[in-house]
Chains A and B, each alone.
Chain A
Amino acid sequence: MAGVEFSRVRKEFGGFTAIEALDLRIEEGEFVSLLGPSGCGKTTTLRMLAGLEFPTAGEIRIGERVVNDVPPGQRDIAMVFQSYALYPHMTVRRNMEYPLRKRGLPAAERQASVLMAAEMLQLTELLDRKPRQLSGGQQQRVALGRALVRDPQVFLFDEPLSNLDAKLRGHMRAELVELHARLGRTMVYVTHDQLEAMTMSDRIAIILAGELQQFAPPQEVYRAPANRFVAGFIGMPSMNLVDGRLAHGSGSWQFMAPGIALPVPALAETAVAGEACLGVRPEHVHIGAGELQGRVQLVEQTGHENIVVLAVAGGIRLTCRTPASMIPRMGDTVDFRIDSERVHVFAPGDTGPRLNLPA
């Protein structure tokens, strides 16, 4: 078993810088998701770890070994691709056996490994089929099986579930979590789906434009986003972000925007009066009583709750959650309050850092 470490890793394609200077330390046996919007560099990061791309500068380690110049086949990793990348002319058995064959393992050992992996993934019945005779979910499991038989130090996943339908995706998520618990191997998982990252990971690395924004456990990423980008990226529906001004008076901070004036919790020393951004999760906006007013613009009923969009003065919109039983009428003006103990304050800018004092 081994951890993974990126030190000052930089990657350029021609003149374009895909990864700026990445520092990331993944512990042994950890399940880490690389999360970010398309083109943020998360796949490039994974491919550098796999050895399919080479870093322009910096160092990548698997365990104690620097692997910058080690070919993919000798890194002791296995990778599951988004398109599965099964060899179409080989049976399931041959596909799973292939990496072992290339390592020159004797036939009996190969057979044993394949059978064990096949049993674990319920593929035993399918061993003699060709990939084209399998469903998407089955192909996905074969790809997983091909990774499993190797018993590698590190598993790499490149958006492995994005070609599956929603139901199967949920099922495979659970299977992967179970697999991780059983094997205890280091797993690095690239996704643009925050639900996958949140539900499966020990820690999430959120990347934007080649730069690491935050690297923390899912709950921390949700409760204490490092900056405005992370705050807006994590959470469904996403956090309300309101631009306004920060004022200091009589030992406490006050946030002001059209129609909203709110005392905010203690802020870090770096906070200064002036432009700022207020972040409020939809579950911390409460309709019913309160000193603020807004007009109900949209009500989405999801079954177990309702998502309500309120229009406040100055073109500000706030999304909030209400219990299923409470369905406001569209067009009505309602009173509401913001749970001021739970708000976040960010410095201005797209990636303005969070100014709240750590809890």
Chain B
Amino acid sequence: MMAAMSTGGGEPGSQAESRTSRSPQAMLERRYARLGLLLIAPSIVVFSAVIIYPLLAAIYLSLFELYTPTLEGGFVGLSNYRELLARGEFWVSLRNTLVWTAGTLSLQIVFGIGMALMLHQNVWFRSLARSLILFPYFVSTVVAVLVWRWLFNDLYGILNHLLVEARLIDMPIDYLGAMPNAMISIILVGAWKYFPFVVIAVLARLQTIPDVLYEAARIDGAGPIARFFDVTLPQLREVLLVIVLLRAIWDFKEFDLIFLLTGGGPVISTQTLSLLVYKEAFALNQMGMGAAYGVVMMAIMLVFMIFYIRQARKGDSS
């Protein structure tokens, strides 16, 4: 497909080259090319200022040992990276990041699809439910986390209160200060906070699946479960690819929710790479080291994304 398009697009160009450069058509083409450059210039300028420059700056900074408040220090080459890879804290944080991302992302997807399917049914409270479901996504992270910290509190939290009342537990549980509770808690709160995004995207796609496909499947003898796997899920595939990609990126670099909920604790049990970058750069004032962590984070994401997009393309063409 791509090859066919590129050869198709190449022909007029090569014809134009064979003509004399002074021909009216060649001049016109050059004018169009100039106009094109002019039109994309603003985007390039903005893109460079907000993406390319910070990226290069981060790579540059990571080669220095810098004291954050003054940005003074010396060039150390790759030693930040050598040190980083030798540190246990990096590997622990990487593992935490992966656990958090995989855990919260899969819950978001499962709950998101489930809720979208429910809301897609003809239930009388549908429109109300559709707006309520967005609430966690819209509420500010700080507010949401404060509420959850109250709910989780071991002295006056309602969660412990109810569980004790129901005689399911004897002693209040420490949700945020012990492991693995803390990791499970942030994963659950993350899932609660971000699953509405999945709901909205999946619901939008569900509404565009033609009813006639379900009718054809019913006539072909497919029951409700077969219809879900043979009609609904394949139709959701493309939107799910996008959702998983976006949510994976966002969850991988999630900072505020985890920072506010556990601060990375107990000790560093829920400290993800984002929290580690923050700690190095602004708590320990090691800007160079922080930048190095940031660059490594980006590299990991890049590898993951390239692999993911490859897989997605492969699945699409088969």
Residues on A lying within 8 angstroms of B by beta carbon are 50-52, 71-74, 77-79, 81, 83, 85, 87-90, 98-99, 102-103, 146
Mask, B207-247, CB within 8 Å of A = 1, is 00010110111111111001000110011010000000000
Contact partner, B235, options A74, A88, A103, Cβ 8 Å: A88
A14 CB to nearest B CB, Å = 14
Establish whether residues B234 and A85, one from each chain, have CB atoms under 8 Å apart when the complex forms: no
Choose from B216, B222, B235 the contact partner of A85 (Cβ within 8 Å). Answer: B216
**Are A81 and B218 closer than 8 Å at their CB atoms?**
no
Complex contacts, B231 vs chain A, CB 8 Å = 87
Contact with A along B76-92 (1 / 0, CB 8 A): 00000000000000000
Give Cα distance in the complex from A287 to B188, angstroms.
87
Given contacts A85-B213, A85-B215, A87-B231, whether A102 and B220 have CB atoms under 8 Å apart is yes
Find out whether the CB atom of A85 lies under 8 angstroms from the CB atom of B218: no
Measured between alpha carbons, how far is A98 from B218 in the docked complex, in Å? 11
Q: Which of B216, B221, B222, B234 counts the most A-chain CB atoms under 10 A from its CB?
A: B216
Give the docked Cα–Cα distance between A351 and B234 (Å): 50
Specify which chain A residues have a CB less than 8 angstroms from the CB of B222 in the assembled complex: 73, 98, 102
In the assembled complex, which residues on chain A have CB atoms less than 8 Å from the CB atom of B219?
50-52, 72-73, 77-79, 99
Q: List 16 additional A-B contacts (Cβ < 8 Å) besides A71-B218, A77-B219, A88-B235.
A: A52-B219, A73-B218, A73-B220, A73-B221, A74-B221, A79-B215, A81-B212, A81-B216, A83-B210, A85-B212, A87-B213, A98-B220, A98-B222, A99-B219, A99-B220, A102-B221
* Complex Cα gap A88–B212 (Å): 12
Chain A residues in 8 Å Cβ range of B210:
83, 85
22 A–B pairs (Cβ distance < 8 Å), ordered by A: A50-B219, A52-B215, A52-B218, A71-B218, A72-B218, A73-B220, A73-B222, A74-B221, A81-B215, A85-B210, A85-B212, A85-B216, A87-B216, A87-B217, A87-B230, A87-B231, A87-B234, A89-B234, A89-B235, A99-B219, A99-B220, A102-B222
* Chain B residue nearest in CB terms to A47: B215
A146: chain B residues within 8 A (beta carbon): 220
Cβ of A346 to closest chain B Cβ, rounded Å:
39
- Asked if B216 contacts A79 (CB within 8 A), the reply is yes
CB of B294, distance to nearest CB on chain A (Å): 40
| Distance between B233 CB and nearest chain A CB, rounded to angstroms | 9
What residues of A have a CB within 8 angstroms of the CB of B212 in the complex? 81, 83, 85
Of all A-B residue pairs in the complex, the 3 with the closest CB atoms, nearest first, are: A73-B221, A102-B221, A85-B216
**1/0 contact string of B20-48 vs chain A (CB within 8 Å):** 00000000000000000000000000000
Contact partners of A83 in chain B: CB under 8 A: 210, 212
Contacts of B230 in A (CB 8 A): 87, 98
Q: What residues of chain B lie closer than 8 Å to A85, measured between beta carbons? A: 210, 212-213, 215-216
A83–B221 Cα distance when bound, in Å, is 19
Bound Cα distance from A334 to B9, whole angstroms: 64
Cβ–Cβ < 8 Å partners of A51 in chain B? 218-219
A198 to chain B, nearest CB (A): 27
Q: Bound state CA distance, A50 and B235, in angstroms? A: 24
Closest Cβ neighbor of B238 among chain A residues:
A89
Whole-angstrom distance between the alpha carbons of A78 and B220 in the complex?
Answer: 7
Q: How far is the CA of A83 from the CA of B226 in the complex (A)?
A: 22
Cα A52 to Cα B231 in complex, Å, equals 17
Which residue on B lies nearest to A103, using beta carbons? B221
Interface string of B237-274 (1 = CB under 8 A from A): 10000000000000000000000000000000000000
B225 to chain A, nearest CB (A): 11
CB distance from A83 to the nearest CB of B (A): 6
Closest to A94 in B: B230
A87→B209 CA distance, assembly (Å):
11
Alpha-carbon gap, A51 to B214, bound state (A)? 13
How many angstroms from the CA of A89 to the CA of B237 in the assembled complex?
Answer: 10
| Docked pose: A204 CA to B284 CA in angstroms | 87
Closest chain A residue to B218, Cβ basis:
A72
Q: Residue-by-residue, is B55-83 near A (CB-CB < 8 Å gives 1, otherwise 0)?
A: 00000000000000000000000000000
Bound CA span A71–B221, Å: 9
